[in-house]
Structure 1
Amino acid sequence: MTSSSVSPRPVSPVDAVADAYVTTLARLHPVGATYLGVAGHEREMTDFSPEAAAERAAAARSALLAIEGLPAADAVDEVTTASMRYALGTEIDLHDAGETARLLNNVSSPSQQVVETFDLMASDTEQAWDDIAARLAAVPAAMSSYVASLRSAAARGDVAAARQVAAVVQQAREVADPQRSAFTRLVRGADARRVLGDDHPLRADLERAAGVAREAYADLARVLADELAPLAPQDDAVGRERYALWSRHHVGAVLDLDETYAWGLEELARVQAEQAQVAAQVAGPGASVAQAVALLDADPARQLPDTDALRAWMQATSDAAIGALDGTHFDIPAPVRTLECRIAPSHTGAIYYTGPSDDFSRPGRMWWSVPEGVTSFSTWRERTTVYHEGVPGHHLQIAQAVFERATLNSWRRLAAWTSGHGEGWALYAERLMADLGFLDDPGDRLGMLDGQRLRAARVVFDLGMHLGLPAPAEVGGAWTPESGWDFLRSNVNMSDAFVRFEFTRYLGWPGQAPSYKVGQRLWEQARETARSTASDRGQRFDLRDFHARALALGSVPLAVLPEALTA
């Protein structure tokens, strides 16, 4: 049931604490506020210094302390309290362990967050461009505070692995390059020209601000290369203690890591066997997966020649999915039916989703950050990706939560993100689309299985590498960066540039990549539990109702999900 069809819940004391925490978090983390779609901080940049990080941790402690003494008014409050205890508790643990102070990797650390926040800002008015100019001018202070945090951590002996330092040096140098910088493309792009023209005074302000922002990234690159790189350990593995903490944060549940590794090996073998069956449908009996891939890649009907064609195909595929699913398998509210597909100005190789603003004035968006040199794309690989990032995946889940204003407080709607829950749902959504017949074409189904194989392989790689677990025979008995690369390369039918980016990501962001497949596993278990419960009660299991109840929750830690679904 959507918020448009129910009376608003009275705001409870628990809601008041959660709402106040979001307001505080937005003030202390303006970049995060933009990601969450909370207005009012567009001209500000986050302070990444140790002192500011301590203030954010103190705010989380205060929120937990405030909520502990409050009785739950209803089942919604019970889920909020349990979710905040878990999510804020793990954030505090990460801070106290020094993990946030030394955070540096190729995909999700302050160096990327600062650049990407500009992708999310409004750019359709003069005021919006004035905000952009002010925020660009604040980039040097943000990068200086980030360097202070990295230096503080380094003084304690906490430095990211050399591979991550090198990757971020390369990224920072690209941002600093006047010709290649995302900041340059931003201020000279089509939106700026359309709104401001060529002679508006803001154009000069934007150019100056972009220049100081680029120089800040040049300074970051110099500090990383000259100061941190000589201190950075060569070993990528973080060990069991650090890994368990990050896994608890990303998954939203405490895993038996050894059992999960064994399951990952079994799941990989299962997906490989299913892939072989579909490969025979594509290329004939006895055909290998590689032969089927080659046949699909040679099919002109399955190729897109450039990024313009990719964006148009993404949008058309997304729009078609929304049209087919709304009113049949899901009830999609009107604001959620809008999803924009865009090519990101960066070139990291990431494909990602950003949620709508609180008032839906900024719609949900699917972004494709195309690596330099990649000029063509295969639809058979990527149809499942559109379902993952769009509908019924991330967009339906995240935008539906934003829409649930009548039921959920602002923390539940905007800020309560758990990777295992959200990414697990997106993988669950891919499988669901196959079950519903949207991937009956053998090529598209092989693409879905290719993605599932990647996610299973990285459960094995991520756990095996970081924990030093016994490697399967095809790896050679021991996990090393070299054997891990060969293992990934043999299980991922993507370009070397894509696989290299992913390889580096897994090594620098422990526990995050497995949260997808583990989350899918737990979502499927939750569905089967609901099915069994209905059967035990003599009731018909209604999948559409199960999904409606699940989406109405917003994102909750997976440890909270089973009880939340029955609350």
Structure 2
Amino acid sequence: MTQRYTSASADELTKIGDEFFDATMVSDPLGATMFGIPGYDHLVPDPSARSDEARISGLEGLERRLDKITGLTPADELSAKVLRRLISSSAGELRHGLMDVAVSGGLIAPQTQVFRTVPMSVLGDDRSGRAYLDRLRGLEFYFDGWSERYRIAVAAGRLPTRRGVRQAVEQLDTYLSSSPTDDVLVRPAAGHAEHSQAEALITDIVRPAVGRLRARLAEAMTAAREDDKPGICHVPGGPEGYAEAVTRHTTTTLSPEEVHRIGLDAVERLRQEFADIGGPALGTTSVPEILEKLRTSRELRFSTSEEILRFADGALVRANGVLPGWFFRYDIGACETREIGPLEAKTSPLAYYQPPAEDGSRPGVHWVSTVDPHSRFRYEYEALTFHESVPGHHFQIGLAQTLDHLPRFRRVAVGNLTAHVEGWGLYAERLADEMGLYSSPIQRLGMVSFDALRACRLVVDTGMHHLGWTRGQAIAYMRENTATTEANIANEVDRYISWPGQALAYFVGRREIHRLRDLAKAELGKAFDIKQFHHQVIGHGSLPLDVLGDVIRTWIADRRRA
């Protein structure tokens, strides 16, 4: 029987996709600014429970409409699968409300998102100027909304961690102690007509609201959880919320127990790789000795912040030079290396990626932590660069933005498809080794150490949030199995505490990409082409892992018929 495809079905799918995208941007306009998506720069998120309830209701309505659609082409059916997962994941995240207890000074914290994203605003005309001022006015509502949300959570026994609260208070104190004239939120207005008005809004409205949030968090300190109970399993509704977070962030059906075991097995395998590379690189095959040398050797550290930036830029240049042997030629914008600002540097990861603006007005940025360069290790920054820029996130996300034949929700990583995005970033670290990009055996040990870091995440994230590990147990496990510094281990563990399940996406996603590559090589033999495989993995926008599997299996079948 021949399948009938209808234009009405395709039109309805397009409408649902557009409505989902717009609703997502309205609920996360700071994310829209980070992605350079115009039209939302005047908004701030609504942190109220009422807003969450309305958003869930809207998502359920979209899901019901999506379920009624029939008669789609294979290409549209692929979009429908992605959209269905995005809608379901967004609703699941809102239902469990884990952000209520995720108080921290890290990337996911509400105040960090403001301090990091609002300064990205670009003022170029009257409209953008008005949008910027409207957002500044809205920040009073935003910060007061989070103050109230935290109050309700604590009253219900949903307690944050004391350490996370302390970090958030310290970050807010740092902000409030800065000069109003040099406020990070006023910087976009420098040299523009809105400058004086922006300073007045920040002084009269924004800073007092930040002060009220700081006071609310200080009150929460007395009842907060200690380091012996960092996991969400110690919070009412936490076990159910964590199970949903594992599914959402990995886009798999893996249970926390299965993820934990995958991590334990991977860490054990990587210890052998440490020994194999450590022999010629450091003259020892003892894993504890290798890790200690990497962690304590002074000659492996940087001297200046400028040196870190030059090092990362050099790795990026080398990567761009060998791309033609591994990828098709794509028209992707530039990627720049920049320093993470001092306000977020204390609790930030070593690096992160900011996508290019959708309209091309802003390049992709590989943000790098350069604070206290004498504590930063050379062997970590090549793998970081390949992960965050090329051939990692910049290559994948920058390419997705150019795929004009796809609906917008597939061109922009607007939802919970972390396993594909971060799985590709981690895959890029290992691919860089195949591409000959690491400059020395020591740098290859850095690659292995980062692999171990991501494998450890499976163990300690599930350990704390599912098995009830203490913060000290998590830190000790990572110290025993990675070469990263004590300070970075602490930052990493605190990040997992405040963002349950997210850290699982990296290794789980990379594991699936490698499994699919092995499958394709076995099925296609000499017909396997690495450029074509890479295009299939990143040439369809961000995908749930099960949908990525469908894409690769369809490609394999098509190649075998050719």
After TM superposition, the score normalised by the length of structure 1 is 0.86
> Could you tell me which residue of structure 1 aligns to residue 334 of structure 2?
338
> Could you tell me which residue of structure 2 aligns to residue 225 of structure 1?
218
- The residue identity in structure 1 corresponding to 2:496 is Y
- Is the 1:183–1:213 contact (alpha carbons within 8 Å) kept by the matching residues of 2? no
Q: What CA distance in whole angstroms lies between the structure 1 residues aligned with 2:285 and 2:321?
A: 38
- Is the 1:353–1:367 contact (alpha carbons within 8 Å) kept by the matching residues of 2? yes
Q: What CA distance in whole angstroms lies between the structure 1 residues aligned with 2:298 and 2:144?
A: 46
The reply on whether 1:489 has 2:487 as its aligned counterpart is no
Q: What CA distance in whole angstroms lies between the structure 1 residues aligned with 2:403 and 2:378?
A: 34
Q: What CA distance in whole angstroms lies between the structure 1 residues aligned with 2:333 and 2:521?
A: 29
Q: What CA distance in whole angstroms lies between the structure 2 residues aligned with 1:480 and 1:297?
A: 31
Superposed counterparts of 1:242-257, under 5 Å: 242-257=241-256
The reply on whether 1:418 has 2:423 as its aligned counterpart is no
> Could you tell me which residue of structure 1 aligns to residue 557 of structure 2?
none
> Could you tell me which residue of structure 1 aligns to residue 307 of structure 2?
309
- Is the 1:42–1:135 contact (alpha carbons within 8 Å) kept by the matching residues of 2? yes
Three-state SS of the structure 2 residue aligned to 1:26 is helix
Q: What CA distance in whole angstroms lies between the structure 2 residues aligned with 1:285 and 1:151?
A: 54
Deviation at 1:455, TM superposition (A): 1.1
- Is the 2:333–2:356 contact (alpha carbons within 8 Å) kept by the matching residues of 1? no
- The residue identity in structure 1 corresponding to 2:201 is A
> Could you tell me which residue of structure 1 aligns to residue 522 of structure 2?
532
- Is the 2:536–2:552 contact (alpha carbons within 8 Å) kept by the matching residues of 1? yes
- Is the 1:161–1:233 contact (alpha carbons within 8 Å) kept by the matching residues of 2? yes
Q: After superposition, what is the alpha-carbon deviation per residue over 1:451-500, rounded to whole angstroms, capped at 9, x for unaligned? A: 1111112211111222227xxxxxxxxx4322322222233333333222
> Could you tell me which residue of structure 2 aligns to residue 472 of structure 1?
none
Change (3 A) 1:328 1:209: farther
Superposed counterparts of 1:168-247, under 5 Å: 168-179=168-179, 184-185=183-184, 187=186, 196=191, 201-211=193-203, 212-226=205-219, 228-234=220-226, 235-239=229-233, 240-247=239-246
- Is the 1:421–1:519 contact (alpha carbons within 8 Å) kept by the matching residues of 2? yes
> Could you tell me which residue of structure 2 aligns to residue 449 of structure 1?
448
Change (3 A) 1:378 1:128: farther
> Could you tell me which residue of structure 1 aligns to residue 560 of structure 2?
none
Superposed counterparts of 1:507-546, under 5 Å: 507-535=497-525, 540-546=527-533
Three-state SS of the structure 1 residue aligned to 2:502 is coil
Change (3 A) 1:183 1:68: farther
Q: What CA distance in whole angstroms lies between the structure 1 residues aligned with 2:454 and 2:295?
A: 22
> Could you tell me which residue of structure 2 aligns to residue 476 of structure 1?
none
Change (3 A) 1:286 1:321: closer
Deviation at 1:82, TM superposition (A): 1.6
Change (3 A) 1:182 1:392: farther
Three-state SS of the structure 2 residue aligned to 1:559 is helix
Deviation at 1:116, TM superposition (A): 1.7
Identity over aligned residues, as a percent?
26
Q: What CA distance in whole angstroms lies between the structure 1 residues aligned with 2:265 and 2:517?
A: 21
Q: After superposition, what is the alpha-carbon deviation per residue over 1:72-94, rounded to whole angstroms, capped at 9, x for unaligned? A: 53222222222222232122123
Q: Report the RMSD for the aligned CA atoms in angstroms.
A: 2.7
Deviation at 1:365, TM superposition (A): 1.4
> Could you tell me which residue of structure 2 aligns to residue 91 of structure 1?
90
Q: After superposition, what is the alpha-carbon deviation per residue over 1:343-384, rounded to whole angstroms, capped at 9, x for unaligned? A: 12221232211212222222221112445x455643322101
Change (3 A) 1:294 1:153: closer
Change (3 A) 1:413 1:91: same
Change (3 A) 1:154 1:291: closer
> Could you tell me which residue of structure 2 aligns to residue 293 of structure 1?
294
- The residue identity in structure 2 corresponding to 1:384 is A
Superposed counterparts of 1:13-32, under 5 Å: 13-32=12-31
- Is the 2:311–2:381 contact (alpha carbons within 8 Å) kept by the matching residues of 1? no
> Could you tell me which residue of structure 1 aligns to residue 142 of structure 2?
142
> Could you tell me which residue of structure 2 aligns to residue 474 of structure 1?
none
Three-state SS of the structure 2 residue aligned to 1:367 is strand
Three-state SS of the structure 2 residue aligned to 1:298 is helix
> Could you tell me which residue of structure 2 aligns to residue 328 of structure 1?
325
Change (3 A) 1:152 1:285: closer
The reply on whether 1:272 has 2:271 as its aligned counterpart is yes
Change (3 A) 1:485 1:74: same
- Is the 1:98–1:153 contact (alpha carbons within 8 Å) kept by the matching residues of 2? no
Q: Structure 1: 5+ residue runs without aligned partners?
A: 1-9, 470-478
- Is the 1:19–1:410 contact (alpha carbons within 8 Å) kept by the matching residues of 2? yes
> Could you tell me which residue of structure 1 aligns to residue 236 of structure 2?
none
Deviation at 1:244, TM superposition (A): 1.1
Q: After superposition, what is the alpha-carbon deviation per residue over 1:412-434, rounded to whole angstroms, capped at 9, x for unaligned? A: 11124411111111111111111
Q: What CA distance in whole angstroms lies between the structure 1 residues aligned with 2:511 and 2:32?
A: 31
Q: What CA distance in whole angstroms lies between the structure 1 residues aligned with 2:78 and 2:137?
A: 41
- The residue identity in structure 2 corresponding to 1:340 is E
The reply on whether 1:43 has 2:30 as its aligned counterpart is no
Q: What CA distance in whole angstroms lies between the structure 2 residues aligned with 1:125 and 1:378?
A: 43
Q: Structure 2: 5+ residue runs without aligned partners?
A: 1-8, 234-238, 555-562
Deviation at 1:295, TM superposition (A): 8.5
Deviation at 1:100, TM superposition (A): 4.5
- The residue identity in structure 2 corresponding to 1:164 is G
- The residue identity in structure 2 corresponding to 1:329 is W
Q: What CA distance in whole angstroms lies between the structure 1 residues aligned with 2:194 and 2:486?
A: 41
Three-state SS of the structure 1 residue aligned to 2:254 is coil
Change (3 A) 1:119 1:453: farther
> Could you tell me which residue of structure 2 aligns to residue 69 of structure 1?
68
After TM superposition, the score normalised by the length of structure 2 is 0.87
Q: What CA distance in whole angstroms lies between the structure 2 residues aligned with 1:265 and 1:562?
A: 25
Change (3 A) 1:29 1:263: closer
- The residue identity in structure 2 corresponding to 1:362 is R
